[in-house]
């Protein structure tokens, strides 16, 4: 199947302001693009460049002029049309046997305070059989524990605060599940990307989504504590330890978000 995805974001800056944007499809999906990603700005012609960060994410640098700026991107990507894989027999890997690149995803980070939730994680899930089932038990718990509410979104809410307050948005679900996994010595990383309404009831307005990937049996596997069921058509934009590593827009100076629009939908072959 083919999926068209994109965004339109309008900002206002009081002065020229450097930006780093993580809005491009991740490098491991670049080969699936059927139309190249386009990137435009209004005003037009702003100099920009891209680079890969420490986590392999494609980042774009530019300087917003004083006043209004609109950034716009769009592309079409090929997808298998299959839902997320479910592998109930996948096993946890002992820490001593983990690849080096997994170790950073066992440690606490800005929004994932393993030190504050370690005992809670073991109390809740320590008796659950290790493996896929234990990660799914974490997702089931987080899905039932947190109430989704856009109006209660808070950029500074941590996993521990989400657990205490029992409210949040998809990033809070992901942060709490990632933290519980790490507390149990299961590598977990935060993922930001596009997730359309393919095969499920339509949700409007559309937004970027957050979920997690967990290392089991020698590979990364997708889990989504917010939706908590296999979905079709995930498009990864960025991965990192938590939301700190994958902001859609990182501005080195003040800005005001004026408008934000995202689209993800199936198109004809």
What is the count of structural domains for the chain?
2
Q: Which pLDDT score is estimated for 201?
A: 82
Q: Are residue 212 and residue 236 in the same domain, yes or no? A: yes
Q: Indicate whether 234 and 253 sit together in one domain.
A: no
- 85 belongs to a structural domain: no
Which tokens go with 10? 């309008």
The answer to whether residues 213 and 239 touch, using CB atoms and an 8 Å cutoff, is: yes
Computed on alpha carbons and rounded to an integer, the radius of gyration of the chain in Å comes to 19
CA atoms within 13 A on the CB side of 250: 11
Q: Shortest CA distance to 208 belongs to which of 180, 246, 167, 176? A: 246
Residues 106, 230 within the same domain: yes
Q: Backbone phi, then psi, for 173, in 5-degree steps?
A: -60, -45
Would you say residue 99 lies in a domain?
Answer: yes
**Contact yes or no for 212/205 (Cβ under 8 A):** no
Looking at the structure, do residues 138 and 205 belong to the same domain, yes or no? yes
CA distance 32 to 13: 35
118 shares a domain with 30:
no
Same domain, 72 and 113: no
Q: Which residues in the chain come in under a pLDDT of 70?
A: 204
In this structure, is residue 172 part of a structural domain? yes
The residue assigned the tokens 């939706």 is 227
Domain housing 60: 2-80+248-267
201 and 187 co-located in one domain? yes
Nearest CA to 88 out of 185, 236, 231, 230 is that of 230
Task: State the pairing for strand pair 48-52/167-168.
Answer: unpaired
Q: Is residue 35 in some structural domain? A: yes
pLDDT at 234: 96
175 lies in the same domain as 99: yes
Cα 114 from Cα 52, distance rounded (Å): 28
| Same-domain pairing of 236 and 253 | no
Q: What is the DSSP letter of 112?
A: B
Can you give the CATH number for the domain in which 73 is found? 2.60.40.2250
CATH number (domain holding residue 143): 3.10.620.30
Same domain, 183 and 162: yes
Local structure of residue 155 (DSSP, 8 states) = T
pLDDT of residue 209: 96
Cβ atoms of residues 4 and 263 within 8 Å: yes
Position 199 scores a pLDDT of 87
Q: Model confidence over 35-87: pLDDT tens digits?
A: 999 999 999 999 999 999 999 999 999 999 999 999 999 999 999 999 999 99
């Amino acid at each position: 199947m083919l999926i068209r995805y994109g965004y339109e974001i309008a900002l206002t800056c009081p002065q020229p302001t450097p930006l780093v944007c993580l809005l491009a499809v991740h490098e491991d999906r670049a080969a699936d693009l059927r139309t190249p990603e386009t990137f435009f700005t209004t005003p037009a012609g702003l100099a920009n460049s891209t680079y890969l960060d420490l986590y392999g994410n494609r980042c774009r640098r530019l300087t917003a002029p004083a006043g209004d700026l609109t950034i716009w991107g769009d592309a079409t990507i090929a997808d298998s049309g299959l839902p997320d894989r479910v592998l109930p027999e996948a096993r946890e890997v002992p820490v001593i046997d983990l690849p080096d690149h997994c170790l950073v995803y066992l440690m606490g980070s800005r929004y994932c305070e393993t030190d504050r939730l370690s005992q809670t994680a073991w109390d809740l899930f320590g008796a659950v059989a290790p493996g896929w089932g234990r990660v799914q038990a974490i997702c089931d718990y987080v899905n039932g524990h947190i109430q989704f509410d856009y109006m209660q979104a808070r950029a500074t809410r941590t996993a521990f605060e989400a657990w205490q307050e029992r409210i949040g948005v998809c990033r809070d679900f992901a942060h709490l599940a990632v933290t519980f996994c790490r507390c149990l010595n299961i590598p977990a990383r935060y993922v930001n990307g596009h997730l359309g309404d393919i095969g499920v009831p339509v949700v409007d307005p559309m937004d970027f989504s957050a979920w997690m990937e967990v290392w089991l049996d020698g590979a990364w596997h997708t889990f989504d504590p917010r939706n908590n069921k296999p979905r079709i058509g995930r498009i990864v934009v960025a991965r990192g330890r938590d939301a700190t590593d994958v902001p859609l827009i990182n501005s080195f100076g003040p800005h005001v978000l004026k408008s934000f629009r995202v689209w993800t939908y199936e198109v004809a072959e």
